[in-house]
Amino acid sequence: NAGVTQTPKFRVLKTGQSMTLLCAQDMNHEYMYWYRQDPGMGLRLIHYSVGEGTTAKGEVPDGYNVSRLKKQNFLLGLESAAPSQTSVYFCASSYLIGGAYNEQFFGPGTRLTVL
Amino acid sequence: GDSVTQMEGPVTLSEEAFLTINCTYTATGYPSLFWYVQYPGEGLQLLLKATKADDKGSNKGFEATYRKETTSFHLEKGSVQVSDSAVYFCALRVDSGNTPLVFGKGTRLSVIA
């Protein structure tokens, strides 16, 4: 199993450009998440999904959109990139067993720079 | 709302020193508590967890005890190694609905030989 993978690993954008970050998991997990990590801020939740075809806003959703068309994929889109979106983006997935919450598995991250 | 407060870093220790990283929480319900570790250039990995009061999570020599009376989940290790250098995140999840994890801001640990 590859676990959680993210594409691309690095990207540089100019202000106003758009891009999509892809997250894929091969563990058949129901839940998927997108976080951003900034110095001194820890991880902040952008959007998340509790199943195929469903998404919900997290703590910092503005400027981002997401889609979960397939259970194994969770896409994060930036329609018009801004320098404030320079960050490291992490995807994660998790599952429930018998109603008990289990750990989140994280991808290796995507480092995005917006000039 | 739910929140996690960790001691600010960076924390610098010599090899074989004792480590404590403080974590306290505020939660509206009865949370499960977690410690995650992030090694340089990598994503986060679960280090240990505890799901009810007085539970002790342990892994790789690290321990943390769920203290409901003090709303704390402090991370400890008796003898740190250079390979423990990483960022450590405390997190909680209130087990109701589909709420995601709430993370602290992280504590960077550097262990020097």
Q: What is the pLDDT along chain A (115 residues), one digit of tens a residue?
A: 789 999 999 999 999 999 999 999 999 999 999 999 998 788 999 999 989 999 999 999 999 999 999 999 999 999 999 999 999 999 999 887 665 556 889 999 999 999 9
Name residues whose C-beta falls within 8 Å of residue B89's C-beta, 6 or more positions apart in sequence.
Answer: A42, A43, B6, B35, B36, B37, B38, B44, B103, B104, B106, B107
What is the token pair recorded at A81? 């990139």
pLDDT band for position B95 (cuts 50, 70, 90) = low
What is the token pair recorded at B65? 């005890």
**Mutating which of B48, B101, B108 best tests the A interface, going by the most A Cβ atoms within 10 A?**
B101
What is the token pair recorded at A91? 């995807």
Determine whether the interchain pair B51/A100 forms a contact, defined as Cβ–Cβ distance below 8 Å. yes
Minimal-distance CA residue of chain A relative to B43: A108
- Residue A48 contacts B where some CB pair is shorter than 8 Å: yes
Determine whether the interchain pair B104/A4 forms a contact, defined as Cβ–Cβ distance below 8 Å. no
- For B5-33, b/e burial (b = at least 16 CB within 10 A) is ebbeeebebeeeeebebbbbbebeeebbb
Please give the Cα distance from B17 to B62 (Å, whole number): 13
Question: Distance of CA A93 to CAs A25, A106, B49, Å?
Answer: 7, 7, 17
Angle at A16 between CA A13 and CA A21, to 5 degrees: 50
Strands A10-13 and A110-114, sheet pairing: parallel
Cα-trace Rg, chain A: 14
